[in-house]
Amino acid sequence: MAASYHICPSKYSLQKLKKDLLSRDLIPSRMSLKEDLEIHFQLLEGNGIQTLEDLITALKNKNKIEEFSSLSGISKKYLTLLRREANSYLPNPVPLDRFSGFEVSDIEKLAAAGIKNSRHIFELVKKNQIQIPFQPNSAFHRKPLPSFWDCQIWQEPMESVLYLPGSFLMQGSIPSES
């Protein structure tokens, strides 16, 4: 099975999400998701929510949250936090100009080739098609990557990082290859 930029929300069960919430250290504003977790998740399942996709669809906007709150008895505040957490499992791609160290000319060349964000890079690496003609000392080099497992795109609240074999691109600077 090929890796995807996002998890498959239709295959990510509500039970897996519950285990994940219990086992992770959540940011302070989401810690209340752990309160009465069993009860809340029983109510979610009792109202037909079986997967992450079901949850995201049911809590898609403020009106749907209000409807689901009335239907399930779960507070709007809790459902709003749960929606934010659920949506965090499907992060938005990061525009390449957010990675410091890229030359403007490289970003323009990438954009002209249809490569504008971290998802595009991920897809190229996954297909082992990262060979793009750039200057040898530019942000991208002409050498192919051995496999997409050697490239990970991590998105954190305050920074985006693109890890490549033996180096990485991150806010700040690009380490030199040794």
Locate tokens 């100009």: which residue? 97
The answer to whether 14 and 51 are in contact (CB under 8 A) is yes
3-class secondary structure for 59-73? Answer: CCCHHHHHHHHHHHC
Tell me the pLDDT tens digit for each residue of 123-173: 877 776 554 444 444 444 433 433 433 444 444 433 444 444 444 343 333
Question: Mean pLDDT throughout 1-15?
Answer: 81
Say what the pLDDT of residue 160 is: 41
Question: Using the 8-state DSSP alphabet, how is residue 89 labeled?
Answer: T
List the chain domain ranges: 14-87, 96-170
Q: How confident is the model at residue 102 (pLDDT cuts 50, 70, 90)?
A: confident
Q: 32 or 104: which carries more pLDDT confidence?
A: 32
Tell me the pLDDT tens digit for each residue of 19-41: 999 998 999 999 999 999 999 99
